[in-house]
Structure 1
Amino acid sequence: MEGQQTRDGTPEGVERPNLRAIAAAFTSLAALAATSLVAGPAVADTSAGPCALPRTSAHHSLGLDSWNGAFPRPERTLDAAMVFLSFPDAAPLATPDELAADHFPATSDFFRRASYGKFTLRAHPLRQWIQMPQASTAYRMKRDWDAGRRAAYLRDAITVADPVVDFSRYDIVYLVADPDAPGVDSDATKVVNFDQPLSADGTDIRRVVTVFERHPPDRNVLAHETGHVFDLPDLYHRPMDGKGDWDTHVGDWDVMGSQFGLAPELFGWHKWKLGWLDERQVRCITGGRADRMITLEALGAEPAPGMSVGTRLAVVRTGENTALAIEARGAAGNDRDTCTEGVLIYRVRNEAESGGGPVEVIDTHPGTEACWDQSVYPPLADAPLTVGEAFTVPGEQVRVEVADRTRTGAWTVKITPVA
């Protein structure tokens, strides 16, 4: 829903006697929304080509001809504050250091691998508990949280943290609740965006990550939530009644679909959006009816020292707001636990909202499934094509054939427009 670094500890801000008058900033909380944010300014992306879908007004749009300036782009080192909140109705059973270790360095390592070393997420845990003014049960935390109670929680959290945290020093704020307090619900973990930024320490706070995870937490949960901080959408399907399967859109194939996935590497399209793939690594298939032979490097494989980086993503533009993406997935990097390898095909829609199916993995083996005892959605666990297989994408007039696999583990793929 809407994460090596240093734990040099100590409060990140020097305690100050004058609490800033932040209460006025919380008047905007009446308009607070967990899944809506006023669009920021567009920042041009010169690497975008004819296959780059335009960014739309959809929340977390997967258009990537420009960047939404309301979100930090993870192309540099970003610093994250971790604030640990206790409650008067419970004595914490875990220490802040133990809870920080639940998420770091694992979350930083996830993004280091996913970005091929281009991005560093540096966590700064506050090594003390800060007590909230109300009992944990008073906030009535849950997944679909009442906006007023959520606003009260955030107001109280920023107020009690403000004397010891200098928010101007951080790009990301994680508010970590005592997981053993009786009113804490792990299902309430999410990113909260503000219609109007809050102001503290002379800086705008546009969003916070509210963490209510158990100890130990769900695997990769903070990587998922941090993805929202970078303008990535939820890729799961949420059933209207809350029952049924949530993973029918992408299965195991991206952490924004499920933090439990066997192959949680971010899709190549996401990496393109975030600036981790450049024009040399993205092949745009345009014009003509000729076959296109492409060698695709496994998306999760880190480049060998001194070796040039090959193509990671092939894209076929299928409409004004749609595209097909083709990438190779193998047992490397964040995908090291995948149960199948091969060439994955998926649709991208730039007008689909977060949680509304902006990505749909194409099941090239619709009659079978795999890894039924481990996969979050076995029907898509064997979605990739392997050597010698071909598949024509229904409705798209595109045929994809895997011709070979090289000695280095790359996949030779033939992409053919068909009448």
Structure 2
Amino acid sequence: MQGQQPPPQPPEGVHRPSLRAAAAGLFCLAAIAATGLVAGPSAAASTPGSCALPRTAAHHSLGLDTWNTAYPKPERRLDAVMIFLSFPDSRPLTGTGEIAASYFPDTSRFFEQSSYGRFTLRAHPRKGWLRMPRASTAYAIQRDWAPDRRAAYLRDALAVADPVVDFSRYDIVYLVADPDAPGVDSDATKVVNLRTPLRADGAAIHRVVTLFEGNPPDRNVLAHETGHVFDLPDLYHRPVDGKGDWDTYVGDWDVMGSQFALAPEFLGWHKWKLGWLGEGQVRCVRGPEVFSLEPLAARPARGTTPGTRLAVVRTGQHSALAVEARGVVGNDRGACTEGVLVYRVRGEAASGAGPVEVIDAHPLTDACRDRSVYPPLADAPLGVGEAFTVPGGTTRVEVVDRTATGTWTVKITP
């Protein structure tokens, strides 16, 4: 890239509790292209509704009245190639088949469950290692990666892969580095967005998922990174000074907050954005209403019509309150608590800058200290018979009842 660099974009890596003090860097691909796609082409949403916030120029905006067509929408089968890279300074200790099995089929199952069967992620791991031309240490791989080193890594990786991989067959590219190579830093895993797409085999490559995980990798790490490929933001909080807790925004309640989340199911707002919740499953609340909420992570019984999964109270041009039921089922089977979760959505907030904030209905207590990524929010949902007024506003949420099958009766008074 020549001339002035474009504005920095938030990083799209994962964070690990043992490395929370590490500063999350951004990247520019000096030799190839630079930084992340922000606003892009639009496509009308299928059922936006009056509560759908407008998409803004914020990186991974949670406005969903339109879809940014620079990103693939997971409403059909998408094919992903997984390419394994070794280095001259290290002989791989693990076979590529074993490494691929640590990601798939678990990641595909996660998306199949979360999408209620509407989306299939089909992985195509390429057998065998492709040898990079330089030592792993030569690329200086780290979270705060120098632009020229990152550019060199991508350039070399695509150069060794292009002769043996037909990129035109795939929607997603995963580059997997030998986890035992001395220069590989597991904290560097993230998505690289390209302002100017690379081209290979006639296909435009807009982004690449670079995996530097250990063996075995972090739980659900690939679900998190693939979420970025679908234009979902980081929901964790990056302390400005590198100190403090990363999980204060959403805690355990979405994999985009933490790959270690106890209840990693995508929030209902994310499912709405991705097209997995239809018009009949999203309720726009304008006045006092009593209605039923089905557990967000539960698959509907075959032959039944899905009920409401997400209730929304519009609070401003770019803000809303979202209400959903979370239970110990599906991707949330490890959840610490069950109940009705309330959270704020901000369409103007960029990835990593608080686009979602879970509201703690029990601010004086916590839960699951031995397992939760952020115990103060582990008991955030409301239980039966509980009610509270959302801080800073007048909206009141009350949980009236819960059936034996897990459906919650909720009263919302905006």
Measured against the shorter chain, the TM-score band is over 0.9
**1:37-85 CA distances to partner (integer Å, 9 max, x unpaired)?**
1532100013001100000000000000000000000000000000000
Q: Does 1:377 align with 2:374?
A: yes
**1:75-105 CA distances to partner (integer Å, 9 max, x unpaired)?**
0000000000000000000011011001000
Give, in whole Å, the separation in 2 of the partners of 1:162 and 1:39.
29
Give, in whole Å, the separation in 2 of the partners of 1:63 and 1:102.
34
Q: Amino acid of the residue matched to residue 56 of structure 1?
A: T
Give structure 1 stretches of 5+ with no counterpart. 3-25
Question: Where do residues 13-92 of structure 1 align in structure 2 (5 Å cutoff)?
Answer: 29=31, 31-33=33-35, 36-92=36-92
Partner of residue 293, structure 2: 296
Give, in whole Å, the separation in 2 of the partners of 1:31 and 1:82.
22
Q: Secondary structure at the match of 2:113?
A: helix
Partner of residue 348, structure 1: 345
Q: How far 1:339 moved relative to its partner?
A: 1.2
Partners of 2:397 and 2:412 within 8 A in 1: yes
Partner of residue 20, structure 2: none
Q: How far 1:32 moved relative to its partner?
A: 1.8
Partner of residue 355, structure 2: 358
Over 3 Å counting, the alpha-carbon distance change for 1:38 and 1:313 in structure 2 is closer
Partners of 2:39 and 2:58 within 8 A in 1: no
Question: Where do residues 149-160 of structure 1 align in structure 2 (5 Å cutoff)?
Answer: 149-160=149-160
Partners of 1:32 and 1:151 within 8 A in 2: no
Partner of residue 314, structure 1: 311
Q: Does 1:120 align with 2:115?
A: no
Give, in whole Å, the separation in 1 of the partners of 2:393 and 2:330.
31
Give, in whole Å, the separation in 2 of the partners of 1:393 and 1:154.
46
Partners of 2:29 and 2:151 within 8 A in 1: no
Q: Secondary structure at the match of 1:123?
A: strand
Q: How far 1:294 moved relative to its partner?
A: 1.4
Q: How far 1:221 moved relative to its partner?
A: 0.2
Question: Where do residues 269-280 of structure 1 align in structure 2 (5 Å cutoff)?
Answer: 269-280=269-280
Partner of residue 22, structure 2: none
Give, in whole Å, the separation in 2 of the partners of 1:112 and 1:27.
33
Over 3 Å counting, the alpha-carbon distance change for 1:355 and 1:336 in structure 2 is same
Give, in whole Å, the separation in 2 of the partners of 1:272 and 1:46.
10
Deviates more, 1:298-307 or 1:164-173: 298-307
Give, in whole Å, the separation in 2 of the partners of 1:406 and 1:293.
15
Q: Secondary structure at the match of 1:194?
A: strand
TM-score under structure 1 length normalisation:
0.91
Q: How far 1:31 moved relative to its partner?
A: 4.2
Partners of 1:391 and 1:400 within 8 A in 2: yes
Q: Amino acid of the residue matched to residue 64 of structure 1?
A: L
Give, in whole Å, the separation in 2 of the partners of 1:45 and 1:174.
28
Give, in whole Å, the separation in 2 of the partners of 1:112 and 1:241.
38
TM-score under structure 2 length normalisation:
0.92
Give, in whole Å, the separation in 2 of the partners of 1:27 and 1:115.
33
Q: Does 1:102 align with 2:99?
A: no
Q: Amino acid of the residue matched to residue 374 of structure 2?
A: Y
% identical aligned pairs: 72
Q: How far 1:229 moved relative to its partner?
A: 0.1
Task: Give 2:395's match in structure 1, choosing from 392, 398, 401.
Answer: 398
Over 3 Å counting, the alpha-carbon distance change for 1:106 and 1:292 in structure 2 is same
Partner of residue 227, structure 2: 227
Over 3 Å counting, the alpha-carbon distance change for 1:145 and 1:121 in structure 2 is same
Partner of residue 262, structure 1: 262
Give, in whole Å, the separation in 2 of the partners of 1:355 and 1:123.
28
Give, in whole Å, the separation in 2 of the partners of 1:38 and 1:391.
37
Give, in whole Å, the separation in 2 of the partners of 1:102 and 1:378.
28
Question: Where do residues 126-137 of structure 1 align in structure 2 (5 Å cutoff)?
Answer: 126-137=126-137
Partner of residue 24, structure 2: none
Give structure 2 stretches of 5+ with no counterpart. 1-10, 13-27
Q: Amino acid of the residue matched to residue 401 of structure 1?
A: E
**1:268-324 CA distances to partner (integer Å, 9 max, x unpaired)?**
0000000000100000012x4xx2011000000001112210100000000011000
Partners of 2:38 and 2:59 within 8 A in 1: no
